[in-house]
Amino acid sequence: MQINPVNNTNNCSFKTWHREVFAKSYNLKSHRLLYRNDTNFFRDRDLWVKLLNFFIEKFQNIPKVNVYHFGCSDGSEPLSLIMYFLSNTTKAIQEKFLPVKALDIDKEAINRINTKFPYKITDIEINRINDYTENNFNKFFKNIPSTDNYKADDILYSNIDAKLGNIKTDYKNIEKNNSIVFARNFWPYIENPKDRQIILYNLANHLESNSYLVIGEYDIRGSQWTIEDQLRKAGFQKTSIRNLYEKI
């Protein structure tokens, strides 16, 4: 099968950026879904406060923490994390956790971040961002008049370093200690269970002490296979937070 991405942007969705990318087969009759770019701000909304407070406490005696965001899509998730830190924590904590290294296999996604492409933000998301940022939505986003598109402020872009990257191979560039790896809501697209297991083994073997992996609700619920078993086999241990695993 030729991996020749084909876009489908026509499907209607409540997501701020809904896009599907298919592999075009040689006979052109069936297009296999490679991945979706769907994302939004503070996705899995109950996660963030407990997760980030957990990290702040865990790393309280560590001077620098390396934060990676694989499968970052258009940046909505890493920017959520950045807004949370900028609104709720001291300068010292911000400097410890930021900037976020954001990676995605999709050129268009990375291009959106690096060209400061405006975000289409729904009212629901505006409320959610306000909830998590001490009502700072207007500090972080400026409306483009007569549209529901918003330009993100440079303070957000100065805290993100976005590049093309594939978790299959680029796990090798992760700092081994004191790292947090977000890899959320894309594991079901790696269809072959053996391939997923190999990536998880490689990631776990690469990481050393004080390192964590954060997965998404879609990863836990979104398919027939159980990522929990695969994570355990690879050497990640469940924590008290549902989406968070620790390298053991």
Burial 84-122 (b: 16+ CB within 10 A, else e): bbbbbbeeebbebbbbbbbbbbbebbbebbeeebbbebe
Task: Please report how close the Cβ of residue 22 comes to ligand SAM at its closest, in angstroms.
Answer: 12
Does 167 contact ligand SAM by CB under 6 A?
A: yes
Give the residue, chosen from 43, 96, 112, 196, that forms a contact with ligand SAM under the rule CB under 6 A.
43
Q: Are the C-beta atoms of residues 84 and 196 closer than 8 Å to each other?
A: no
User: With CB under 6 A as the contact rule, which of the stretches 90-98, 127-135, 178-186, 236-244 interacts with ligand SAM?
Assistant: 178-186
Residue number of the CB atom closest to ligand SAM? 71
Task: Please report how close the Cβ of residue 80 comes to ligand SAM at its closest, in angstroms.
Answer: 9
Task: Please report how close the Cβ of residue 30 comes to ligand SAM at its closest, in angstroms.
Answer: 20
Task: Please report how close the Cβ of residue 46 comes to ligand SAM at its closest, in angstroms.
Answer: 14
Residue with tokens 């939505």: 137
Give the residue, chosen from 16, 20, 35, 79, that forms a contact with ligand SAM under the rule CB under 6 A.
35
Task: Judge residue 241's burial from the number of C-beta atoms within 10 Å of its C-beta, 0-12 exposed, 13-18 middle, 19 or more buried.
Answer: middle
Give the residue, chosen from 41, 42, 48, 70, that forms a contact with ligand SAM under the rule CB under 6 A.
70
Does 68 contact ligand SAM by CB under 6 A?
A: no
Does 38 contact ligand SAM by CB under 6 A?
A: yes
For the chain, strand residue ranges (E) read 5-8, 20-24, 31-36, 66-70, 100-104, 119-120, 141-143, 149-152, 160-164, 179-183, 212-214, 236-238, 244-247
Applying CB under 6 A, the residues found at the interface with ligand SAM are 35-39, 43, 70-71, 73, 77, 103-106, 109, 166-168, 184-186, 189, 216
